[in-house]
């Protein structure tokens, strides 16, 4: 991958927050469902060799 800035999309599986201590997550029913994070900008410093993945 060439050097440059790229946008990526990330999604997470369901996360059970009920097992976390010290924080009240009851208002979101103890689970985050289908979280999608769009347009995260990353900076890539590629390899000097084009064939390495």
The average confidence (pLDDT) of the chain is 75
This prediction has a pTM of: 0.46
Long-range contacts of 35-43 (CB under 8 A, 24+ apart): 35/11, 36/9, 36/10, 36/11, 37/9, 37/10, 37/11, 37/12, 38/9, 39/7, 39/9, 40/7, 40/8, 40/9, 40/10, 41/5, 41/6, 41/7, 42/5, 42/6, 42/7, 42/8, 43/4, 43/5
Of 23 and 43, the one with more pLDDT: 43
Give the pLDDT band (50/70/90) at residue 37: confident
**pLDDT at site 5:** 92
């Amino acid at each position: 991958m060439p050097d440059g800035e790229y946008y990526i999309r990330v999604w997470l599986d369901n996360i059970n927050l009920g097992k976390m201590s010290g924080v009240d997550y009851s208002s979101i029913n103890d689970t985050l469902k289908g979280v999608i994070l769009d347009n995260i900008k990353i900076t890539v410093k590629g390899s000097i060799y084009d064939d390495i993945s």
